[in-house]
Amino acid sequence: MHVDGRTVIVTGASSGIGRATAHEFARRRAHVVLASRSRDKLDALAGELADYPGRRLVVATDVTDRLAVEALVRRTVEEFGGVDVLVNNAGVGLFAPIATGSLDNMHHLFNVNFWGAVHCIQAIVPYMRRQRRGHIVNVSSVAGKVATPYLGAYSATKFALTAVSNALRSELAGTGIGVSTVYPGLTDTSFQENMLREVDVPDLPAYLRTAGPAAVGRRIVQAVRWNLRDTYVTLADFAAVNAYPLAPALADWALRLFWLGPGARLSVEGTPFEAIGELAEPSAADASEPPSESP
């Protein structure tokens, strides 16, 4: 599908990959609908895109709210007469152990990363069916192919998104609607710094962040233009995912060595809810326990 003059909804558009993706579509003369929770950041982004051809629409949206998502799609169709592309990019991250991690944070993770995407898909597909055309891009992650220590819950949301893509692609065969899954690896954005943290984990050195958000945005546009099924941003990402099944025990050992090294102890500083971003409210049981003091 060519993107010139097409209408594109990008969720999680206020920063990182979403922001870069909005730039890439706008550069190619698409009409871009900017969706995220932060109206101020979306307005600033719309200003950045003003010099590109095409029109912009800002709709502050919480993808965990099904009615808000339906309103986003309706507003888009009213404004542009249809909707051609959905980029399901909104997401949050979580570093937490599976056995002892906060269930509230895990539920919040699924509400955004999984249910948010499903809300968008269910709201937009009826319009695309009537048009007999459309394209849905689900932004998964290399973590949606390979799970690592402390990223189990996050990986589970991305594995689930991969499953949704694969099933949806078959269900929509013959309708003119394409479905792509994009698997970014370690990307040079603030995403890791903004992840919810229940454990101390090593900071990733810059040289491991092999792609910038613009590279991911370009790959998303390519996925739409060429109707790509599964696509990776770098050769290293592709190699890592495809090498894992060949030597899973060795790969698990290497991942444990990295994540469970001397700097990966359980955090005793603050509570699981004291992190950057909007978090789930603590449960009554969690709220009744005061935070531990640092040694």
**154 assigned to active site:** yes
Q: Which residues contact 87 (CB under 8 A, 6 or more apart)?
A: 8, 9, 10, 11, 18, 21, 137, 139, 220
H-helix segments, the chain = 16-27, 39-48, 66-80, 103-110, 116-131, 152-171, 213-226, 235-243, 248-259, 284-287
Structure tokens, 88: 């399901």
Q: Give the position of tokens 């220590």.
A: 149
Active-site residue, from 52, 127, 150, 154:
154
Measured between alpha carbons, how far is 217 from 140 in angstroms, rounded to an integer? 13
CB count within 10 Å of CB 34 equals 28
CA distance readout (Å), 90 to 1, 12, 41, 117: 23, 4, 14, 8
Catalytic positions, written as ranges: 154
